[in-house]
Structure 1
Amino acid sequence: MAFFFANKYVTMEIRLFLKGFDIIMAEEKKYTLSDFDYDLPEALIAQTPLKQRDASRLLALNAKTGGYEDKHFYDILDYLNPGDAIVMNNSRVLPARLHGARPETGGHAEVLLLRQDHGDVWETLVKPAKKSPVGSTIVFGDDIENPIMTATVVGELEHGGRYIEFHYDGIFMELLNQLGEMPLPPYIKEKLDDQERYQTVYSKVDGSAAAPTAGLHWTPELLDRVRAKGVKTVELTLHVGLGTFRPVDEENIEDHKMHSEFYQLSQEAADELNSVRKHGGRIIATGTTSIRTLETIGTKFNGDLTADSGWTDIFIKPGYNWTVVDAFITNFHLPKSTLVMLVAAFTGRDNILNAYKHAVDDQYRFFSFGDAMFIHK
Structure 2
Amino acid sequence: MKTSDFDYVLPESSIAQTPAEPRDSSRLLVLHRDSGEVEHRIFRDLGLFLQPNDLLILNRTRVIPARIFAKKETGGKVELLLLRRRDVLTWESLVGGKGLRVGKKVVVEVGGDGHGEFFLQAEIIEILEGSERLIRFSEPVEPYFPKVGNIPLPPYIHEKLTDPERYQTVFAKEAGSAAAPTAGLHFTPQLLDALQAKGVKVGYVTLHVGLDTFAPVTEESPEEHKIHTEWCELSQETADLINQTRQNGGRVVAVGTTSVRTLESAAQSSMADPQSPISSFIGPTSIYILPGYQFKVVNAMVTNFHLPKSTLIMLVSAFAGRERILETYNLAVREGYRFYSFGDAMFIE
Shorter-chain TM-score category?
over 0.9
Distance 1:322 1:299 in 2: 10
1:167 corresponds in structure 2 to 138
Aligned pair count reads: 342
Letter in 1 for 2:284: W
2:56 to 86, 91, 110: 86
**Superposed CA offset, 1:107-160 (max 9, x none):** 1010000101122110001111x4211111111116699434211111111111
* 2:86 aligned counterpart, secondary structure: strand
Question: Equivalences for 1:1-377 in 2 at 5 Å?
Answer: 31-103=1-73, 105-128=74-97, 130-141=98-109, 146-168=117-139, 172-302=141-271, 303=274, 304-376=277-349
Corresponding residue SS for 1:118: coil
Asked if the contact 1:64–1:347 (Cα under 8 Å) also holds between the matched residues in 2, the reply is: no
User: Which structure 1 segments of 5+ residues have no match?
Assistant: 1-30
CA contact (8 A) 2:110 2:147 kept: no
- Deviating more after overlay: 313-322 vs 148-157: 148-157
In 2: Cα distance, 1:114 partner to 1:232 partner: 32
C-alpha distance in structure 2 between counterparts of 1:375 and 1:235, whole Å: 20
The CA deviation string for residues 42-97 of structure 1, in whole angstroms up to 9 with x for no partner, is: 00100011121000000000122221100000000000000110000000001010
CA contact 2:3–2:222 (8 Å) conserved in 1: yes
SS at match of 1:147: strand
What TM-score, normalized to structure 2? 0.96
Q: What's the offset of the Cα at 1:348? A: 0.6
Contact kept? 1:58, 1:374, Cα under 8 Å: yes
In structure 2, list runs of 5 or more residues that go unmatched.
none
- Partner Cα distance (1:185, 1:346) in 2: 25
- Measured on the aligned residues, the alpha-carbon RMSD in Å equals 1.3
Runs of 4+ in 1 over 4 A off after TM superposition: 142-145
Q: Percent identity?
A: 51
Larger Rg: 1
Amino acid of the structure 2 residue aligned with 1:308: F
Q: Which TM-score applies when normalising by structure 1?
A: 0.89
* SS at 1:351 equivalent: helix
> For 1:162-211, what per-residue CA distance to the aligned partner results, in whole angstroms no more than 9, with x for missing partners?
0011123xx63231122110000011111100000000000010000000
